[in-house]
Chain A
Amino acid sequence: MARIIVVTSGKGGVGKTTTSSSIATGLALKGHRTVVIDFDVGLRNLDLLMGCERRVVYDFVNVINGEAELHQALIRDKRTENLSILPASQTRDKEALTHEGVEKVLNQLAKDFEYIICDSPAGIEHGALMALYFADEAIITTNPEVSSVRDSDRILGILQSKSRRAVENLEPVKEHLLVTRYNPDRVTRGEMLNIQDVEEILAIPLIGVIPESTSVLKASNQGVPVVCNTESDAGQAYNDVVARFLGEDIPHRFLEPAKKGFLQRMFGGIG
């Protein structure tokens, strides 16, 4: 039975697509047949982060409208076995995603894949609602910042009232909190909400903390999900998230400021 996982947040720019690409790649690297779907119709970007933007021929909406077969639209990842990408349409609007259409595609994918990752668009409009509707689990991507935390809480309310599992009175969507762009130095200085604060306010289990890292921009520049960069802190943190998602019990890392050398300790960063 395939698991459908939505990566969502409410707020834009918090790292949903970065997270979708890394978690999908991480699951595939562990040998699980995984597909990642871009639900951001009109503003697709998952293809760029996955480095397959020049291989897009057909898209999600083409498949829904019967203009292409699913296998024609799916892009097999060149680096990672077991991984496919279903890109969003760049030209249609979000209304092109119908309940019936999305359900049909998900059912078809469920035959071939173990995990279906749905990369939600920002906001709480149609595209975001479609991305979360069929979810079994949700990864709530949140920055330690007031507007992001508030929007995450809003999305949690929607998951609990408007998802298929809520509407059909099934077991609720399993929620996971993923805090991204965490900066332990700023937390120590009292300039940023700490992990316990965010956990306490949102009151859902924490699946991981991704530190603010230069490797994330580098990864998107290159079109290689940051999880592949096992040297980097963010890459390691995403690897931990994938392992925890698969049931491993691993302590959280990168919560404390990096140890500094003597000179740095004396003079620090200015500002």
Chain B
Amino acid sequence: MNLMQLFRSSRKEDNSAAIAKERLQIIVAHERNSRSGRDFLPAMERDILQVIQKYIEIQQECIDIKLDSQDGCSILEVNVQLPN
């Protein structure tokens, strides 16, 4: 800390390195996912939809599939909105 720094504001946005780290963690995780063979998701979504449609009438937009990884553990999230 020198005298010049005393006069500088110490608002959070001054710590741009922290912002850089946060942005990088998000984009790098996203890009790693897309290159690690996760491109089967749309096809799987179609298959699951067909199985459900055999029993219940639902539309394509009623199904939502996500693949996330947290702390080295992958989570497959399938959300189906059933008609009333």
Contacts and interface: CB of A to CB of B under 8 A. Distances in A.
Interface residues of A, number: 24
Interface of B: 2-5, 14-18, 20-21, 23-25, 27-28, 31-32, 35
Q: From DSSP, what is the main secondary structure of chain A's interface residues?
A: helix
29 contacts: A146-B24, A149-B28, A150-B28, A150-B31, A153-B28, A153-B32, A157-B32, A157-B35, A187-B17, A190-B15, A190-B16, A191-B16, A191-B17, A193-B17, A193-B21, A197-B17, A197-B21, A197-B24, A201-B24, A201-B25, A265-B2, A266-B3, A267-B2, A267-B3, A267-B4, A268-B2, A268-B3, A268-B4, A270-B4
A146 B4 contact: no
A229 interface: no
Query: Secondary structure of the B side of the interface?
Result: helix
A194 interface: yes
Interface of A: 145-146, 149-150, 153-154, 157, 161, 187, 189-194, 197, 201, 264-270
Contacts of B17: 187, 190-194, 197
A190 B4 CA distance: 16
A153 B26 CA distance: 13
B20 A193 contact: yes
A261 B71 CA distance: 45
Contacts of A189: 5
A265 B4 CA distance: 10
